């Protein structure tokens, strides 16, 4: 009985993240538009976009391979598994111990690996641009993420996200290394989700695109799967920041339905605040030149390294 | 039956086979016979080694033969460490022999390859079996010489000759360092047997460590002694390259572990301060150099350098923990390192097999002339992709499992009291993460430029799939990569007796953990379940595909590539290997390789194309090897005049030397009497 | 001393190190001045917090001086200087941003080890704050050494001095702190005035727009 409830809770989380991802995207776009004094598309527009793409015909290039056709599903699967393992409204869900923070980072790395590969599949110049720039950003963003993971893990004594969340709730701390890690994680999240100032998610100009260049050749249902995967990634990062740095409201393991509802409500609230702040940030800063992004990402790597160094040197930092 | 005796018989059989191969090399069946017998022998030794490693009661497995030096004889022994490395050597050897059953048919000069291949396998096995210094060094040199003969097998090419020359110089230098190390370990009593060295304590254990780092490190590929590796590994035939990169470097790691962890006594606090930064620098320099290459085999060889760096980071951490008496963390670090040894031999051999298949099919090693091979060689492409995913440390394959364990070992390091390590370990952790991310970029480039896109030359457009034996070997290793990734607990448990013997500790028993996860320290601290991650990914992908196929439109049509509405069907418009690496070269290359781009732009009105030239300098080569080579040439030049002396002058040189020695002897006797 | 107090003190001192890194990252003049104003603002917060937890009300005066003089007056004055003298708006960084940041990381690591080792028996809050302060001083020196432009060197010197004030207030019961901080502020004010009065545009070989144009003969 208990096992079935636990499995239901885990399944509910997986479905929840999938359903909420396009809503988060739509909400962010709406807020951005309103800040720019436009009406903006309706909040439910991404759902309509996905339905429209699913119903369309797929046009494949003559030389697209099996990797091109199966790539979107692999990318989606890796991102969904990573997103489902992050505590959203409750900690210690049934399978939360199968992958810790390092594994989640590496799962996102797998998704990116396959995305870069499918970008190169058709053999066009745009795909090459996207893939090479994406791997250059990744070469700095991923070590930055790992350093931040190490900093948090050294503080909390564990790399398991549920343990980290419980530690942060019980020992409410204002530590230097946590502050550094938070700034670093925000920078990495902006870079990984192809947001301004690293990449512009709304444009198809060669000067400004990295993520869009890799998926340029996709259409129809494949493009729908990829769009859903990138929305999931945004949700994943905001949930990660909320879970590690603002873990209040998470329902602990085995508590009653009331606390699950509180957990759900606080999660929705955190997503709303996160989406709003992202939209605010994106409208107040300009996109950087491509070769200034490594300096920007280098900051995240350095902040993580500094946090880790401080924790190695003394326990009270 | 004594396992050591069984292994020695197999080695003798291999040597006999190599002699036979000299005789029959001209016959058409020689290739198949040689490789098939090698395959059988390697499988036999592999079974012996695994049986010893996993067996409950282990028979005594030592042997002493009255060959070699009269007062020493030759000692051979299989203990837990050598059983593990014997298993790795023979697994790699079996796969390479299986692969060569198909690949070797395309060899133009089998007489230069067939006799030396079984001898090379025999030499590697002997190094791992050796139980005294003389046998070890003899086998080490034998291994170097036979692999050198294989490197210059295609000696018509000047590049290969140069590679062989540099290889033999570096190998001799390494053996000299090891000779000195063994001399120090044997001490004034001259006891060369390993058992005696273990019992007595060396006079200068720190100096022994440095000499072993130079000797074994140069064979493994530690910076700055790695310069021979990217030249020699690509020059050999592909199955030999797989053996050299995947297996011979591991034999060098075996030498390091045997001397430093076993024979040298308890480690001092400063040993890890030397090893760990060197390993970190090796990682980063190896992968950055790999990114700049467009020769596929040279890229893979530089990657071996990076992975050796990862292995040595684990070994350095194990030394640090053991120097402070922390047995359980030392066992974790050592297990991570040995697991990576196993994984690397699997996926590096797999990648070299794929490169060999491409070389046979297209006669091209340069990625700039390949492309689109996923359509022409689909099975090779699939196994090569598996190798790329494994080496980039992506879950759920095996590269991630060993890298995860190394990260866990780094996370345990704050308990080390040494201040130097408190600074070095975070920096090396960052270097490890950086090299993992760059490795993923490097293999996106390697797979993307070689297999994806459109063919850039007619050879690539006309390629054909490789033969069955090669494909069997590649698929076998790809499956092993997956199994090692989703069932790492079994390998960790298999390694437990080895770490118990070396550092006195072991990781917690993994077999009893539910759902086959691995827990390196404690359940609450961290855990990873490769099997479940794999199942989740598979189920999610299948669910997504099924849902889409139910709900979505099935219509599909083919058309030209979109390319933003300006399709250009010429293959020159796609990205090349150098252009893929250009952003990373801009970010890292300026500091590490002094990379400079020069654009030659014709003036307006001139119709010739603009050209871009990129210059990269290997700073290690320029700052260390070129001055030494230059200095040696200068001294040799000056001393050359000694060739042209008259008889009287020769006699006076001899006279001066003799009188000088007598004067020194006089001083020694007067001062010390 | 309870944990929240220590944590907030560490947060502010760590924040100063972070802002010092941001100073190293800037390559535009006005951005540099704005970040320096932030540096002085964080200093004033840190000194005010130290005044609160050490029960040393005279430190509030130091905080006030830092806030008014260094966070407001001097950046505005330097802003005017830059505009009036037409000083080049972009800052050349010797060696590039990446190596400078890496070297800065090394300096922070060095100061951590040296300070924590040397003061092993002292009060833990003070010694950790001193470690941060030494990092700020070293990063200020690094900034002075890797810039070609006089104004950026002045900013580096002022950030170094901020680090000294952080150290002085971190050590409990140091005498004459207020007097020392006033003295340093007067020194810096005179340097700024000097730059303005004597129109010192360059220390080393820097390129200043007006000098170039005079050399080329396009202006008189």
Across chain C, which distance is largest between two alpha carbons, in Å?
Answer: 67
Q: What mean pLDDT is predicted for residues A122-143?
A: 91
Long-range contacts of A250-258 (CB under 8 A, 24+ apart): A250/A87, A250/A89, A250/A90, A250/A91, A250/A165, A250/A169, A251/A89, A251/A90, A251/A91, A252/A90, A252/A91, A252/A92, A252/A166, A253/A90, A253/A91, A253/A92, A253/A162, A254/A92
Give the B:C interface size as CB pairs under 8 Å. 11
pLDDT at residue C198 in the model: 65
Smallest Cα distance from B261 to chain C, Å = 30
Q: How many CB atoms lie within 10 A of CB A259?
A: 16
3-state secondary structure A256-305: CHHHHHHHHHHHHHHHHHHHHHHHHHHHHCCCCCHHHHHHHHHHHHHHHH
Classify B5 as helix, strand or coil. helix
Task: Report how far residue B208's alpha carbon sits from residue B497's, in angstroms, rounded to the nearest whole number.
Answer: 26
Neighboring chain C residues of A314 at a CB cutoff of 8 Å: 116, 128
Give the DSSP per-residue string, B583-635. HHIIIIIHHHT--EEEEEPPPTT--SPPEEEEE---HHIIIIIHHHHHHHHHH
Burial of B413 (0-12, 13-18, 19+ CB in 10 A): buried
Strands B596-600 and B611-615: antiparallel
pLDDT tens profile C160-174 = 889 988 988 887 777
DSSP state at residue B154? G
Find which of A68, A120, A140 to mutate to test the B interface (most B CBs within 10 Å of its CB).
A120
Burial of B554 (0-12, 13-18, 19+ CB in 10 A): exposed
Q: How many CB atoms lie within 10 A of CB A317?
A: 26
Task: Report how far residue A82's alpha carbon sits from residue C137's, in angstroms, rounded to the nearest whole number.
Answer: 43
pLDDT at residue C203 in the model: 47
pLDDT tens profile A14-49 = 899 999 999 999 999 999 999 999 998 999 999 999
Strands B74-77 and B556-559: unpaired
Neighboring chain B residues of C113 at a CB cutoff of 8 Å: 419, 422-423
CB B54 within 8 A of CB B3: no
Task: Report how far residue C129's alpha carbon sits from residue C124's, in angstroms, rounded to the nearest whole number.
Answer: 9
Task: Report how far residue B277's alpha carbon sits from residue A155's, in angstroms, rounded to the nearest whole number.
Answer: 25
Find which of A151, A176, A296 to mutate to test the C interface (most C CBs within 10 Å of its CB).
A176
Give the DSSP per-residue string, A178-194. HHHHHHHHHHHHHHHTT
* Distant-in-sequence, close-in-space partners of B40: CB < 8 Å, separation ≥ 6: none
Interchain CB distance below 8 Å, A225 and B389? no
pLDDT at residue B360 in the model: 92
- H-type alpha helices, chain A: 2-35, 45-55, 66-84, 101-121, 125-156, 161-170, 176-192, 211-214, 220-245, 257-284, 293-313
* Distant-in-sequence, close-in-space partners of B652: CB < 8 Å, separation ≥ 6: none
Confidence of residue C217 (pLDDT cuts 50, 70, 90): low
Q: How many domains in chain A? A: 1
Task: Report the chain A residue with the minimal C-alpha distance to residue B533.
Answer: A98
CB B482 within 8 A of CB B394: no
Q: Which residues pair with B37 in a beta bridge?
A: none
Task: Give me the residue from A98, A150, A158 closest to B525, CB to CB.
Answer: A158
Give the distance from CA A164 to its chain's centroid: 18
Burial of B628 (0-12, 13-18, 19+ CB in 10 A): exposed
Q: Model-level pTM?
A: 0.91
**What's the half-sphere exposure (Cβ side, CA atoms, 13 Å) at A270?**
25
Is the bond into A197 cis (omega within 30 degrees of 0)?
Answer: yes
Task: Give me the residue from A107, A112, A138 closest to B395, CB to CB.
Answer: A107
pLDDT at residue B591 in the model: 82
pLDDT at residue B673 in the model: 67
Percentage of chain C beyond pLDDT 90 is: 20
Task: Report how far residue A29's alpha carbon sits from residue A34's, in angstroms, rounded to the nearest whole number.
Answer: 9
Neighboring chain C residues of A285 at a CB cutoff of 8 Å: none
Task: Give me the residue from B423, B587, B591 closest to C99, CB to CB.
Answer: B591
Q: What is the mean pLDDT of each run of 10 residues along chain B (673 residues)?
A: 83 88 83 91 92 80 79 85 94 94 86 91 93 92 94 90 93 94 84 83 85 93 91 92 94 94 86 94 94 93 95 95 90 94 95 94 91 92 95 92 93 87 90 95 95 89 88 94 91 89 84 78 81 91 91 86 77 88 89 87 90 88 90 92 82 88 87 77
* Residue of B405, B395, B669, B660 lying closest to B538 (CA atoms): B395
Interchain CB distance below 8 Å, B440 and A95? no
Instruction: Determine contact: A80 vs chain B, CB below 8 A.
Output: yes
- State the residue range of the domain holding A64: 2-314
Q: Between residues B517 and A254, which one has the greater pLDDT? A: B517
Find which of B419, B430, B588 to mutate to test the C interface (most C CBs within 10 Å of its CB).
B419
Task: Report the chain B residue with the minimal C-alpha distance to residue A97.
Answer: B527
Smallest Cα distance from A33 to chain C, Å = 28
Neighboring chain B residues of A221 at a CB cutoff of 8 Å: 548, 552-553
pLDDT tens profile C3-14 = 788 888 888 999
Q: Which residues pair with C90 in a beta bridge?
A: C28
Task: Report how far residue A293's alpha carbon sits from residue B587's, in angstroms, rounded to the nearest whole number.
Answer: 10
CB B278 within 8 A of CB B241: no
pLDDT at residue A239 in the model: 93
Domain ranges, ordered by start, for chain C:
3-216
* Residue of B45, B137, B39, B123 lying closest to B83 (CA atoms): B45
CB A184 within 8 A of CB A147: yes
Give the DSSP per-residue string, B155-207. TTSHHHHHHHHHHHHHHHHHHHHHHHHHHHHHTTTT--BHHHHHHS--S-HHH
**Which chains have 3 or more CB–CB distances shorter than 8 Å to chain C?**
A, B
Residue with tokens 């827990």: B519
Alpha-carbon torsion (A187, A188, A192, A198), positive or negative: positive
Task: Report how far residue A274's alpha carbon sits from residue B21's, in angstroms, rounded to the nearest whole number.
Answer: 71
Confidence of residue C214 (pLDDT cuts 50, 70, 90): low
Instruction: Determine contact: C95 vs chain B, CB below 8 A.
Output: no
Strands B611-615 and B74-77: unpaired
Interchain CB distance below 8 Å, A299 and C21? yes
Conformation bin of residue B34: beta by default, left when phi > 0, alpha when psi is -120 to 50: alpha
CB B302 within 8 A of CB B285: no
Burial of B640 (0-12, 13-18, 19+ CB in 10 A): exposed
Find which of B523, B532, B536 to mutate to test the A interface (most A CBs within 10 Å of its CB).
B536
Strands B596-600 and B74-77: unpaired
Smallest Cα distance from B586 to chain C, Å = 12
Interchain CB distance below 8 Å, A298 and C105? no
Is the pLDDT reported for residue A317 higher than 90? no
């Amino acid at each position: 009985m208990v096992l079935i409830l636990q499995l239901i809770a885990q399944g509910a989380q997986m479905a929840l993240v999938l359903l909420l991802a396009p809503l988060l995207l739509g909400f962010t776009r709406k807020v951005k538009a309103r800040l720019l004094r436009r009406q903006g598309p309706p909040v439910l527009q991404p759902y309509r976009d996905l339905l429209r793409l699913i119903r369309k015909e797929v046009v494949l290039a003559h030389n697209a391979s099996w990797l091109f056709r199966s790539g979107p599903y692999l990318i989606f699967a890796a991102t969904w598994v990573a997103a489902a393992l992050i505590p959203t409204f409750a900690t210690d869900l049934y399978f939360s111990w199968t992958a810790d923070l390092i594994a989640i980072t590496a799962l996102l790395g797998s998704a990116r690996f396959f995305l870069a590969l499918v970008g190169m599949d058709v053999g066009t110049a745009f795909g090459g641009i996207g893939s090479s720039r994406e791997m250059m950003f990744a070469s700095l963003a991923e070590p930055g993420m790992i350093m931040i993971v190490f900093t948090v893990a050294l503080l909390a004594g564990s790399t398991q996200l549920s343990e980290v969340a419980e530690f942060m709730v019980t020992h409410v701390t204002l530590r230097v290394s946590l502050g550094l890690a938070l700034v670093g994680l925000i920078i990495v999240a902006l870079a990984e989700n192809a947001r301004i100032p690293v990449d512009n998610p709304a444009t198809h100009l060669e000067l400004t695109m990295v993520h869009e260049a890799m998926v340029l050749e996709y259409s129809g249902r494949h493009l729908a799967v990829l769009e859903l995967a990138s929305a999931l990634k945004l949700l994943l990062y905001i949930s990660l920041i909320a879970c590690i740095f603002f873990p209040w409201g998470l329902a602990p393991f085995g508590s009653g339905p009331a606390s699950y509802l509180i957990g759900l409500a606080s999660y929705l609230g955190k997503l709303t605040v996160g989406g709003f702040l992202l939209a605010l940030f994106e409208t107040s800063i300009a996109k950087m030149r491509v070769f200034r992004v490594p300096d920007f990402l280098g900051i995240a790597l350095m902040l993580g390294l500094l946090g880790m160094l401080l924790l190695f040197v003394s326990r009270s930092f | 039956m004594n396992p050591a005796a069984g292994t020695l018989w197999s080695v003798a059989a291999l040597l006999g086979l190599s002699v036979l191969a000299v005789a029959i090399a001209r016959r058409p069946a020689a290739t198949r016979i040689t490789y098939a017998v090698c395959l059988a022998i390697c499988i036999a030794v592999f079974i012996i080694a695994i049986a010893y490693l996993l067996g409950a009661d282990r028979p005594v497995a030592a042997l002493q033969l009255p060959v070699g030096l009269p007062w020493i004889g030759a000692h051979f022994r299989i203990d837990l460490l050598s059983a593990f490395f014997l298993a790795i050597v023979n697994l790699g050897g079996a796969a390479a022999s299986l692969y060569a059953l198909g690949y070797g048919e395309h060899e133009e000069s089998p007489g230069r390859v067939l006799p030396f291949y079984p001898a090379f396998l025999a030499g590697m096995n002997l190094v791992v079996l050796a139980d005294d210094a003389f046998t070890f060094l003899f086998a080490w040199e034998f291994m170097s010489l036979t692999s050198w003969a294989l490197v210059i097998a295609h000696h018509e090419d000047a590049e290969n000759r140069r590679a062989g020359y540099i290889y033999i110089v570096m190998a001799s230098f390494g053996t000299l360092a090891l000779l000195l190390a063994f001399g120090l370990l044997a001490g004034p009593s001259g006891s060369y047997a390993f058992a005696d060295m273990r019992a007595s304590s060396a006079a200068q254990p720190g100096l022994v460590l440095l000499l072993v780092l130079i000797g074994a490190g140069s064979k493994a590929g530690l910076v700055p002694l790695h310069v021979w590796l990217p030249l020699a590994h690509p020059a050999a035939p592909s199955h030999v390259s797989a053996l050299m990169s995947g297996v011979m470097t591991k034999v060098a790691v075996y030498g390091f572990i045997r001397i430093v962890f076993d024979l040298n006594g308890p480690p001092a606090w400063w040993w890890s301060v030397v090893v760990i930064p060197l390993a970190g620098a090796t990682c980063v320099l190896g992968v950055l150099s790999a990114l700049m290459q467009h020769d596929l085999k040279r890229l893979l060889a530089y990657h071996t350098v990076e992975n050796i760096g990862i292995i040595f980071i684990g070994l350095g951490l194990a030394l640090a923990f053991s120097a402070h008496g922390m047995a359980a963390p030392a066992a974790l670090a050592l297990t991570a390192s040995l697991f990576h040894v196993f994984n690397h031999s699997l996926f590096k051999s797999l990648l070299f097999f794929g490169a060999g298949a491409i070389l046979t099919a297209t006669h091209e090693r340069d990625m700039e002339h390949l492309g689109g091979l996923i359509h022409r060689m689909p099975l090779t492409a699939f196994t090569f992709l598996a190798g790329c995913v494994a080496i980039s440390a992506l879950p759920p394959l095996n590269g991630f499992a060993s890298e995860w364990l190394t990260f866990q070992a780094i996370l345990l390091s704050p308990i080390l009291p040494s201040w130097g390590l408190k600074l070095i370990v975070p920096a090396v952790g960052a270097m490890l993460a950086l090299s993992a991310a760059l490795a993923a970029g490097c293999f996106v480039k390697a797979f993307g430029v070689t297999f994806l896109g459109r063919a850039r030359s007619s050879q690539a457009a006309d390629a054909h799939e490789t033969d069955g034996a090669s494909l069997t070997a590649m698929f076998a290793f790809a499956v092993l990569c997956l199994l090692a990734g989703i069932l790492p607990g079994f390998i960790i448990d298999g390694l437990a007796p080895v770490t118990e013997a070396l550092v006195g500790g072991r990781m917690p028993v993994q077999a009893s953990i539910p759902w086959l996860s691995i827990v390196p320290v404690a359940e609450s601290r961290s855990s990873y379940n490769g099997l479940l991650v794999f199942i989740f990914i598979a189920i999610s992908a299948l669910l997504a595909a099924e849902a889409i196929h139910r709900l979505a439109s099935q219509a599909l049509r083919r058309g030209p590539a979109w390319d933003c509405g300006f399709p250009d069907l010429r293959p020159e418009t796609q990205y090349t290997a150098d252009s893929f690496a250009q952003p990373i070269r801009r970010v890292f290359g300026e500091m590490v390789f002094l990379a400079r781009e020069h654009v030659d732009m014709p003036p307006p009105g001139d119709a010739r194309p603009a050209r871009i030239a990129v210059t990269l300098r290997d700073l290690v080569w320029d700052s260390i090897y070129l001055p030494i080579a230059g200095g040696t040439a200068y001294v040799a030049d000056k001393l050359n005049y000694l060739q042209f002396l008259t008889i009287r002058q020769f006699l006076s040189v001899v006279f001066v030397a003799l009188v000088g020695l007598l004067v020194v002897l006089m001083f020694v006797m007067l001062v010390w009497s | 001393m309870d944990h929240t107090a220590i944590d907030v003190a560490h947060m502010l001192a760590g924040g100063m190190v972070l802002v010092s890194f941001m100073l190293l990252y800037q390559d535009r003049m006005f951005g540099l001045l704005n970040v320096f104003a932030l540096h002085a603002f964080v200093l004033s917060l840190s000194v005010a917090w130290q005044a609160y937890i050490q029960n040393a009300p005279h430190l509030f005066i130091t905080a006030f001086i830092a806030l008014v003089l260094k966070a407001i007056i001097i950046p505005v004055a330097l802003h005017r200087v830059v505009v009036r003298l037409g000083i080049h708006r972009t800052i050349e960084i010797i060696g590039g941003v990446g190596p400078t940041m890496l070297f800065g990381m090394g300096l922070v690591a060095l100061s951590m080890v040296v300070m924590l080792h040397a003061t092993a028996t002292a009060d833990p809050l003070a010694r950790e704050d001193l470690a941060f302060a030494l990092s700020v001083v070293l990063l200020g020196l690094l900034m002075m050494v890797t810039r070609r432009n006089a104004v950026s060197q002045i900013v580096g010197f002022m950030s170094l001095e901020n680090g000294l004030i952080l150290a002085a207030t971190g050590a409990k019961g140091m005498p004459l702190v207020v007097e020392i901080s006033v003295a340093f502020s007067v020194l810096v004010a005179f340097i700024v005035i000097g730059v303005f009065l004597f129109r010192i545009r360059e220390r080393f070989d820097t390129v200043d727009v007006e000098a170039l144009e005079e050399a080329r003969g396009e202006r008189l």
